[in-house]
Amino acid sequence: MMNKTITLLLLSLGSLHLEAQHMMNTDRMDKRLKAGMDSTASLEIDNETFLHHPEIIQQERAAFTRNNPAPRPENIQVSDVFVNSSRDNYKIRLHVYQAKNFDADHVIVYFHGGGYVFGMPEQVDEQMFKIAADLKATIISVDYRLSPQYKFPIPVLDGYDALQWTVSNGKTALNINPDNIVVFGASAGGHLAAAVAQMAADHQVKNIRHQFLLYPVIHNQLNTPSMNEFVDAPLWSKTAASAAWLHFLGKEKMGQSIRFADLTNFDKFRQLPPATIVACELDPLRDEDIAYAQQLYKAGVKTELWVIPGAVHIFDLFSSPLREEFYRFMIDKMEKVWWNSSINIL
């Protein structure tokens, strides 16, 4: 059961353990994390399959998630809400987790990972159950449409439509305070959370109190020092990143800097909500995360950046003290966000 649970978690936050001829030197990894990874069966996905046959990965991941459900605690209520896409009236599914003793002011709009290509809210059920319980929160997890079948901007627009529904209907449908939203996402989901925050600023929607971005994808330039250093890194690599962007943008737009796809191509940084960005020292995404935090700093946006020494992409999915340290940090951060909001500091 433990192996199934860990394998399911490995599928969750937008990262692939891709095969590589020469893996990076793991001596720089946190030894506690490495021990956790060594004790877990690795997940290998063929590069060629991910690039040329992403539908196979989609089908396998969806089947695994459906066939390995996480047991729901009695103190968590789960429901689905369907909202119309503003683009084509597609029914966007929102998977809602709500603690029975929920605090109406504790609201999270969450975006799962999956490299834009695979994933669904249920793949992180176990994590969401725990977060909802520990924070007495309502978590609205967006089942956004996946690439390459649905390329940019559809996944971002699905996320923004979910935010709009939460703002307009959250109070009556879920008894929550829609003025106290934290957008939260990891990896590709972190990119979507940040893009939705930018889109909200563009439309002068001010209901987002904070954006919590866990090793987020920031742009499609693929040219930072860390991206070039960790070409063959475990769990996420430059090869994987390139394929993910190709699926997300399409070949014609692959090299373009497009608003809400390239998060650095934005002209209203001062209007963005405060942010927490968690990056990993040994992650190809490290330097774009650091640079994005610097853009927020320069714009006067309250931003906390934590680059975790010795961590690799999706480090938090492996049993280790490092994962526990991160979890305590995340819970503490969100509690502070909502406490500050309650006394009108933010």
Name the residues annotated as catalytic: 187, 283, 313
Q: Write the DSSP assignment of 236-270 as a string of letters.
A: S-HHHHHHHHHHHH-GGGTT---BTTBTTS-S-GG
Helix or strand holding residue 79 (H, E): strand 76-84
Find residue 192's DSSP bridge partners. none
Taking a C-beta distance cutoff of 8 angstroms, is the pair 14, 186 a contact?
yes
Is-cis flag, bond preceding 234, omega within 30? no
Instruction: Report CA Rg, the chain.
Output: 19
Count CB neighbours of 275 within 10 A. Answer: 23
Q: Angle at CA 101, nearest 5°, toward 100 and 103?
A: 120
Beta strands 138-143 and 91-99: pairing type? antiparallel
Buried b (16+ CB within 10 A) or exposed e, 134-156: ebbbbbbbbbbbbbbebbbbbbb
Residue in the block written with tokens 């999706």: 314
As beta bridge partners, residue 303 has 275
